[in-house]
Structure 1
């Protein structure tokens, strides 16, 4: 696409944080020019009323742009969740015109919504021959119209012009492809752990092959701690970040309090001291209860990731997943990569969204990028949509 007459930004509206990025293309190089984030709920607590939540999001969008010193108003953003359906289907070989005319009828078989209620897009990502039958591999993307329309209105209320609305999974994939070499035999499971949603996608031989969103994220862990300890969301978030992922393998609630490592031994001692000094001898410490909530939620997340990988491999004719790549703000949870590697028996790395994108903007603080790079993979992938040919 080359240069554009107007600058376009990537905008990632998360459940609690808005991220904004502006990339520039200089010759064949892509560079980071501006970057800013803003909390949607600065005091930590989400308002009960939907209209107050919406106004908080709009304020955060404007604040992220201000923090980044971005003046461009054309935005590439993304949606995710149960209202976005991504399917990989095989169809008989046909022309693009024929596919365009028939895709709505084809889509009815694969989506849980009425066709008239969704926006449909598609892309041919491969072709194959089985005997005398020629087939084409088609990526089918459907999103509910009410979700897209509401998203567009939100951006407009914030003073922005929607340029492209992508999916978070594909934005993460764009970021991965920009920053990492992949060979013909490389199969990677890309896991983007956001606040409310985790996107799981499999990238094989240069193409997306599987994609799924599940309703578990960093906020799910925090909410589990909040419910178990009856504390505020902010207090639960602090405990989550302090404790991190479980250090021992275990199922359900039992593993986090097993006493199998030094931290849990200290919890046992602390509980004993509490009992000797008049505390409830049967009550686990706050730390033990937080560990149990974290492990229980992460066990559910790992189970969903494992099932997704197994589903892909069951249809991939022996082309198994070789590694796991983590991203999203919740990938920063202490020890999460080690935990995932142990539980899934796969090499795990955390994506570096700026591995091949130098930072040239004079207003971008390098320490800010180091502290927040975990959450930038989607927004960088979105910004890439308008600078990559």
Structure 2
């Protein structure tokens, strides 16, 4: 799924999410220099099943974001429920032989006809005794890639590479191809979905997209309180507390209703995460997860880290860039630090261009 790779003195990462477009531009050096950090919201109804309903609004947003960049070349990421990531066992073959075999065997692992997807893979392990290779398989529906590339072309942007969000996030955290063989969970709670990836030795060995995230929480608040989506979003930002004590609040109060609804949604999310961890333990023969790193816009919800740690029984930390960096000025630094959880994927995409793979 690569369009091309070019190590350069600077890199631009472009993360097109379901609620906003995020851009980070960095320059190589010791330390890296974060030159530009930007985010522009998308219309509420911009997406339908991972596809844009209308392309002109997103083209206009991209053109606006790239007015201040030093280049119009960027690395982008594909995400959504039409992105399939799998760890699968295949016969012990060389890379080209595996690629040829997947053209006939891939439909065992993906829910789409092979001629409708763009597919790539990475060999992550070999067992010569059992004559097997373990591969990390990634595929995306061709219609999604085609639309995204068409939008970039209309905006005058050249895509250097199409990456996977989970890999970009691992890169930003310094976990890509890590020598540490422990299992680390990455939880990206965005607007449209929650993406759970488990890395072992820096390689994704489990991925699941959970359809419970910021937008669904806001919709539940809107429904339960009988208010508009916009008003519900304001109430969520104003009142939400993942450790709110419902027993000490008046049931009819606005604060109570918002947090009652929020906690219902968060507990449902926790249940899905636990199910995923249970499956991973079975798959990896009870291999224990050592910690969970949290990213995404919802990561900044008050007391979410201690709530998740208590509910899941694992240490939960807010993800931070592993590499030292400096910012071009105080304004860029202040925004990057404030918006860090939702900018990590764009940061990891930009890093792809300035560090050796």
TM-score (norm 2): 0.90
Q: In the alignment, is residue 368 of structure 1 matched against residue 335 of structure 2?
A: yes
Structure 2 CA distance for aligned equivalents of residues 70 and 12 of structure 1 = 15
Q: Is the CA contact 1:203–1:209 (under 8 Å) kept in the aligned structure 2? A: yes
The alpha-carbon distance between structure 1 residues 287 and 316, as it changes in their structure 2 partners (threshold 3 A), is: same
Query: Which of 330, 341, 359 is 2:326 aligned to?
Result: 359
Residue of structure 2 equivalent to 1:223: 219
Q: How far 1:79 sits from its partner (Å)?
A: 1.5
Shift of 1:164: 1.3
Is the CA contact 2:77–2:162 (under 8 Å) kept in the aligned structure 1?
yes
**Structure-2 residue corresponding to 1:100:** 99
For residues 350 and 100 of structure 1, what CA distance do their matches in structure 2 show? Answer: 37
Partner residue of 1:274? none
> In the alignment, does 2:59 pair up with 1:58?
yes
Of 16, 21, 25, which residue of structure 2 is paired with 1:18? 21
Q: Deviations over 1:196-222 (max 9, x none)?
A: 011110011222111121222111111
Q: Describe how 1:184-203 pairs up with structure 2 within 5 A.
A: 184-203=180-199
Number of aligned positions between the proteins? 350
1:110–1:24 Cα change, 3 Å? same
User: Equivalent residue for 2:207?
Assistant: 211
For 2:286 and 2:177, how far apart are their aligned partners in 1?
Answer: 22
Partner of 1:233: 229
* Whole-angstrom distance in 2 between the partners of 1:48 and 1:99: 35
Q: Distance in 2 between matches of 1:334 and 1:300?
A: 18
Q: Does 1:30 align with 2:32?
A: yes
Distance, in Å, in 1 between the alignment partners of 2:54 and 2:326 is: 33
Q: 1:315 aligns with which of 278, 283, 288?
A: 283
Match of 1:277 in 2: none
The yes-or-no answer on 1:287 pairing with 2:289 is no
Residues in 2 aligned to 1:340 and 1:184: alpha-carbon distance in whole angstroms = 24
After TM superposition, the structure 1 = structure 2 runs for residues 108-257 of structure 1, keeping only pairs within 5 Å, are 108-130=107-129, 133-177=130-174, 184-247=180-243, 257=246
Q: Is the contact between residue 33 and residue 364 of structure 1 (CA under 8 Å) also seen in structure 2?
A: no
Gaps of 5+ in 2: none
Tell me the residue number matched to 2:346: 379
Structure 1, gaps ≥5 residues long: 249-255, 260-264, 272-283
Structure number with greater CO (CA < 8 Å, separation at least 6) is: 2
Alignment RMSD: 2.5
Deviation at 1:170, TM superposition (A): 1.9
Deviation at 1:85, TM superposition (A): 0.6
Q: Residue in 2 aligned with 1:251? A: none
Deviations 1:103-137 (CA, angstroms, capped at 9, x unpaired):
1222111011100100110110111244xx22211
Verify the 8 A CA contact 1:225 1:290 in the aligned structure 2. Answer: yes
Shifted more, 331-340 versus 53-62: the winner is 53-62
